[in-house]
Structure 1
Amino acid sequence: MFVKTLSALSLSLFALACSANEADIQKTVEARLGVKVESVTKSGYFGLYEIYADGHLFYTDDKVSALLIGGDMIRSQQALNLIDLKSNRNVTEERLRKLTAIKFSDLPLERAVKQVRGDGKRVLATFEDPNCGYCKRLAKDIQKLDNVTVYTFLYPILSEDSLKKSRQIWCSADRAKAWNDWIIDGKTPGGRDNCDTSAITRNLEFGRRLNITGTPTIVFADGERVPGAVPLNVLEQKLAQPK
Structure 2
Amino acid sequence: MTYLTRVWKKAIAVTLMSASLVVANTAMAQDLTVEQVSKIKSKLSKLGLNADSVQASKMEGLVEVLTDQGLFYTSSDGNFLIQGKVYDIGGAQISSLTESSLAKVRVQGMTEFEESMIVFPAEEEKYEITVFTDLTCGYCRKLHQQMSEYNDLGITVRYLAFPRGGIGSQSFVDIRSVWCSDDQQQAMTDAKGGEQVQQKICAQPVAEQYEFGRKIGVNGTPAIMLEDGNMLPGYKTPEQLQQILRSIPTAKAG
- Evaluate the alpha carbon distance shift between residue 48 and residue 150 of structure 1 in structure 2; reply closer, same or farther with a 3 A threshold: same
Give the Cα separation in 2 of the matches to 1:149 and 1:91. 28
Amino acid of the structure 1 residue aligned with 2:94: R
Deviations 1:195-217 (A, max 9, x none): x5321xx1312441461553333
Report the counterpart of residue 178 of structure 2 in structure 1. 169
Q: What SS does the aligned partner of 2:103 have? A: helix
1:178 to 177, 181, 187: 187
Report the counterpart of residue 9 of structure 1 in structure 2. 11
Report the counterpart of residue 222 of structure 1 in structure 2. 228
Is residue 33 of structure 1 aligned with residue 61 of structure 2?
no
TM-score normalised per structure 2: 0.65
Amino acid of the structure 1 residue aligned with 2:56: V
Q: How many residues are paired up? A: 221
- Evaluate the alpha carbon distance shift between residue 40 and residue 20 of structure 1 in structure 2; reply closer, same or farther with a 3 A threshold: same
Whether the 8 Å CA contact 2:87–2:96 is kept in 1: the answer is yes
- Evaluate the alpha carbon distance shift between residue 144 and residue 19 of structure 1 in structure 2; reply closer, same or farther with a 3 A threshold: same
Quote how far apart the aligned CAs of 1:93 are: 5.0
2:28 to 9, 15, 20: 20
Give the Cα separation in 2 of the matches to 1:227 and 1:204. 21
Quote how far apart the aligned CAs of 1:89 are: 1.0
Amino acid of the structure 2 residue aligned with 1:217: A
Give the Cα separation in 2 of the matches to 1:97 and 1:65. 21
Give the Cα separation in 2 of the matches to 1:141 and 1:179. 13
Query: Please, which moves more after superposition, 129-138 or 31-40?
Result: 31-40
Amino acid of the structure 1 residue aligned with 2:184: R
Give the Cα separation in 2 of the matches to 1:220 and 1:31. 34
TM-score normalised per structure 1: 0.67
- Evaluate the alpha carbon distance shift between residue 42 and residue 216 of structure 1 in structure 2; reply closer, same or farther with a 3 A threshold: same
Quote how far apart the aligned CAs of 1:168 are: 4.3
Higher helix share: 2
- Evaluate the alpha carbon distance shift between residue 68 and residue 176 of structure 1 in structure 2; reply closer, same or farther with a 3 A threshold: same
Query: Which runs of 5 or more residues in structure 2 are unaligned?
Result: none
Quote how far apart the aligned CAs of 1:187 are: 2.8
Query: Which runs of 5 or more residues in structure 1 are unaligned?
Result: none
Quote how far apart the aligned CAs of 1:29 are: 3.6
Amino acid of the structure 1 residue aligned with 2:211: R
- Evaluate the alpha carbon distance shift between residue 38 and residue 170 of structure 1 in structure 2; reply closer, same or farther with a 3 A threshold: same
Is residue 197 of structure 1 aligned with residue 197 of structure 2?
no
Percent of aligned pairs with the same residue?
A: 18
Give the Cα separation in 2 of the matches to 1:171 and 1:65. 42
Superposition pairs of residues 97-136 of structure 1, within 5 angstroms:
97-103=102-108, 106-136=111-141
- Evaluate the alpha carbon distance shift between residue 106 and residue 85 of structure 1 in structure 2; reply closer, same or farther with a 3 A threshold: closer
Is residue 91 of structure 1 aligned with residue 96 of structure 2?
yes
Quote how far apart the aligned CAs of 1:139 are: 2.9
